[in-house]
Amino acid sequence: MATSEAGTGRQTGPVLGTPDDFPDRPERRGRFVVHVVIAILCAVCAGGWGYVMWASKGNTEVIDQVVAFDTSRGDSLQITFEVVKPSGRAAVCRIRATDVDHVEVGSREVNIPAGEGYVRLTERLETSSQATSGDVHYCYLV
């Protein structure tokens, strides 16, 4: 094993020894194959996770964006939002209001008829308590 210089306490070899110090240790065969299998497994898992995240977005043919919201009234929220969709299709959007703790205090679905591809709407949403934020939870084609 490792030897130390006499009287100095300094180590001259590896602290844990060298491979020659352990003759009963099996040879390292197949480590490359194991690493390749692990890499392939990680790549499959990452690809699967990417697909799940992409698919969870839902139908991306409808794009929504909140322009403004007004929370000055304690019993309602006024929200202005834009929707971009295929002009020949109708859509349904769910708007919601949340309070300071991000608890939903009101929600409603808004039907957007077929016709125009770009629609800007202002809606009033009744709330159960003071809202601090408003957003479009989702939109999808019908």
Structural domain for 109, as ranges: 63-141
CATH code: domain of residue 100? 2.60.40
In the beta sheet, which residues pair with residue 13? none
Q: Where does a domain end: 11, 27, 57?
A: 57
What pLDDT score was predicted for residue 26?
Answer: 66
Asked if residue 46 and residue 95 are part of one domain, the reply reads: no
Q: What is the pLDDT of residues 46-63, one digit of tens each?
A: 999 988 887 776 556 888
Report percent pLDDT > 70 for the chain.
Answer: 87
Asked if residue 83 and residue 133 are part of one domain, the reply reads: yes
pLDDT at residue 122 is higher than 60: yes
CB contact at 8 A, 76 and 126? yes
CB contact at 8 A, 14 and 4? no
**End-to-end CA separation in angstroms for the chain:** 76
CB contact at 8 A, 77 and 124? yes
Give the predicted TM-score (pTM) of the model: 0.57
Asked if residue 69 and residue 136 are part of one domain, the reply reads: yes
Asked if residue 71 and residue 36 are part of one domain, the reply reads: no
Q: How confident is the model at residue 6 (pLDDT cuts 50, 70, 90)?
A: low
